[in-house]
């Protein structure tokens, strides 16, 4: 049987013969085509970090994920957030260029941008339901995944979660976890110029338990 020959459409034939016809017109991806990184993307990062609304004069209670839709995970024995519910969000008010006037300024930065306890208290109860948190509310921290001292957004629900107490934590002893010292060390390194702000933010959203090791700060 002779092979079936299919006629080449005149327009496609003309395109093949004319110099300068792009491969995209033929439906073939062009290797040189590139996309600009999304806002908040860290250089060389695996994924972009969302950009929140930033500091507000008046904060309002933010809607939280549906009850029971978020799930804790354990890494190195420590409770970590659900990346689908709490992927992190950064503040547009903090950049590498203005560190000295924001998170690294003398006199502090976080107290001026932190939402009131009235707002965060309501959000914490809602987020506890999102994660199915059943421990004592006083022992769980309503935590900024990317801390305020690392330029995290103050009240974006993507950047806040009820962080359970560390394993072995004495019940009723209040908030006490190992994430806070990690955040402080990263903040110090950023302000000293040892690492970039973007690198610190990316390391903390990836896995705070390995952030210092990843950035060679441990």
pLDDT digits (tens, 9 = 90+) for 131-181: 999 988 999 999 999 999 999 999 999 999 999 987 776 666 555 688 999
Q: How many helices (H) and strands (E) does the chain have?
A: 5, 6
Average pLDDT over residues 184-193: 97
- Give the pLDDT band of residue 126 (cuts 50, 70, 90): very high
Rounded to an integer, the average pLDDT of 2-16 is 41
Listing DSSP states for 22-59 in one string gives -GGGGT---TT---PPPTTPPTT-SSPPEE-----SS-
Indicate the SS3 state at residue 142. Answer: strand
Whether residue 15 is predicted with pLDDT greater than 50 in this model: the reply is no
In this structure, of 30-34, 55-59, 63-67, 116-120, the range with the lowest mean pLDDT score is 30-34
The pLDDT score that the predictor gives to residue 167 is 76
φ, ψ (nearest 5 deg) of residue 110 = -65, -35
Three-class secondary structure of residue 161 per DSSP: strand
pLDDT at 165: 85
Q: Is the pLDDT of residue 9 over 60?
A: no
**Predicted local distance difference test score (pLDDT) of residue 177:** 82
Q: What local confidence, expressed as pLDDT, does residue 7 receive?
A: 46
Task: Evaluate if residue 25 carries a pLDDT over 50.
Answer: no
> Containing H/E element for 143?
strand 141-144
């Amino acid at each position: 049987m002779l092979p079936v020959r299919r006629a080449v459409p005149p327009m496609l034939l003309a395109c093949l013969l004319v110099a300068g016809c792009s491969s995209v017109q033929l439906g073939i991806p062009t290797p040189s085509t590139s996309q600009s990184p999304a806002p908040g993307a860290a250089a060389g990062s695996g994924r972009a970090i969302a950009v929140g609304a930033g500091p507000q004069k008046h904060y309002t209670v933010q809607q939280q994920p549906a009850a029971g839709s978020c799930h804790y995970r354990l890494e190195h024995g420590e409770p970590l957030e659900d990346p689908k519910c709490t992927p992190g969000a950064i503040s547009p008010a903090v950049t590498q260029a203005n560190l000295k006037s924001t998170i690294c300024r003398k006199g502090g930065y976080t107290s001026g941008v932190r939402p009131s306890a009235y707002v965060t208290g309501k959000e914490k109860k809602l987020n506890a339901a999102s994660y199915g948190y059943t421990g004592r509310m006083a022992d769980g921290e309503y935590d900024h995944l990317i801390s305020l001292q690392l330029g995290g957004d103050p009240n974006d629900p993507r950047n806040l979660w009820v962080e359970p107490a560390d394993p072995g934590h004495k019940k009723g002893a209040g908030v006490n976890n190992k994430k806070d010292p990690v955040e402080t060390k990263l903040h110090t390194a950023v302000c000293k110029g040892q690492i970039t702000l973007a690198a610190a933010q990316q390391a903390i959203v990836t896995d705070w338990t390995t952030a210092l090791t990843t950035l060679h700060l441990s």
